[in-house]
Amino acid sequence: MPYAIAVHGGAGLTRRDSITPEREAACRIVLEQAIEAGSAVLAAGGDALDACVAAVTVLEDSPLFNAGRGAVYAADGTIQMDSSVMHGADRTAGGVAAVRGIKNPVKAANLVRTHTEHVLLVGPYAEAFAAEHGLEICDASYFHTDDRWSQLQMAKELGRTALDHALDDAMDRMPGDGKGTVGAVALDLHGHVAAATSTGGMTNKLPGRVGDSPLIGSGTYANDATCAVSATGDGEKFIRGVVASRVANLVELAGLSLADAADRVVHQELPVLDGTGGLIAIDADGRIAMPFNSGGMYRGFRDTEQRTEIHIW
Ligand code: ASP
């Protein structure tokens, strides 16, 4: 079985004119670099989750996406990030939530998986854990981007959080865009699937707010028997819809195809909760689904036939 990988850089764009052609081109390049980084691991016979971590690291290192460098600001002017990973072979999982300063939260999430008996570490404890395990810690200036700071100021002026559609629309007319959570799902040459997700969350969120991205079953899920999923969108709705594992459950228990299960969750179930966003999913046969109910979702894949595609709209 050949390998395959899919990545996303967030859903939440509502309008084509919300990003400049230059920014769109730059985002496409970074998405392709993420696919290349993950594919290099997979082509060498590497592990599906290592490939996801490699791909997400590229996206975290780019200031263009809302994860790692370039993450959005919370209401108090801090940057607080969430991430999780899950392996489909044994359903081991790890996550970190509301962490500051960790250059690559996805690596911290994977260390929680491999080096603790736990699934989720939060705040300063997760930061200390990451530092103890040799992960790079950066000061606030590394994460700062002018676009994200402007978005926070606009959110504050409007007195809203970025969870509101009106604000989404207003913020989509700002430089950059209001969202951009990143994630990856992969199938390796050994037939295993995995998923990883990383985010700065929502602009102007309450400090300490945790979204779906670090929560197994909501923002991230992987099981070789069904599929691997990484989600992006209104985190609270994705938590309430238990979106990522819901797709897997529909495959397993309702007998839906991956495409039908993913479509049902994104186009039928999330709207009932007024949830906007999308997800990427892959199964052990390398089938890929990438539905979204927002105006756009940064996404791309390399499938089992080694076709590579990048799409936003
Ligand atoms: N799901 C993320 C969160 O709520 C945000 C996003 O996907 O853009 O934290």
Dist. CA 8–CA 28, nearest whole Å: 11
Fold of 4-311: Glutamine Phosphoribosylpyrophosphate, subunit 1, domain 1 (3.60.20)
| Between 229 and 19, residue with greater pLDDT | 229
Which pLDDT tens digit goes with each residue over 295-305? 999 999 999 99
Q: Please, which pLDDT band fits residue 176 given cuts at 50, 70 and 90?
A: very low
pLDDT at 167 over 80: no
- In order of 66, 77, 155, 236, 300, the CA distances from 203 in angstroms are 10, 10, 7, 14, 25
Number of the ligand 1 atom closest to the C-alpha atom of 219:
1
In the prediction, which pLDDT does 20 show?
A: 87
How far is ligand 1, taken at its centre, from the CA of residue 238, in Å? 9
Dist. CA 239–CA 218, nearest whole Å: 5
Which pLDDT tens digit goes with each residue over 79-129? 999 999 999 999 999 999 999 999 999 999 999 999 999 999 999 999 999
Q: Please, which pLDDT band fits residue 37 given cuts at 50, 70 and 90?
A: very high
Atom 7 of ligand 1, nearest CA residue: 232
Q: Is 199 in the pocket of ligand 1 (CB under 6 A)?
A: yes
| Between 100 and 179, residue with greater pLDDT | 100
Atom 9 of ligand 1, nearest CA residue: 201
In the prediction, which pLDDT does 42 show?
A: 98
Q: Is 235 in the pocket of ligand 1 (CB under 6 A)?
A: yes
In the prediction, which pLDDT does 192 show?
A: 98
Which pLDDT tens digit goes with each residue over 120-155? 999 999 999 999 999 999 999 999 999 899 999 999
In the prediction, which pLDDT does 280 show?
A: 98
Q: Please, which pLDDT band fits residue 18 given cuts at 50, 70 and 90?
A: confident
Which pLDDT tens digit goes with each residue over 46-79? 999 999 999 999 999 999 999 999 999 999 999 9
- Please state the rounded mean pLDDT for residues 164-174: 50
What percentage of the chain exceeds 70 in pLDDT?
Answer: 93
Q: Which residues are catalytic?
A: 181
Which pLDDT tens digit goes with each residue over 198-253? 999 999 999 999 999 999 999 999 999 999 999 999 999 999 999 999 999 999 99
Task: Return the structure tokens found at 109.
Answer: 């999430």
What sign has the CA pseudo-torsion 182, 185, 189, 190? positive
In the prediction, which pLDDT does 171 show?
A: 55
Atom 4 of ligand 1, nearest CA residue: 235
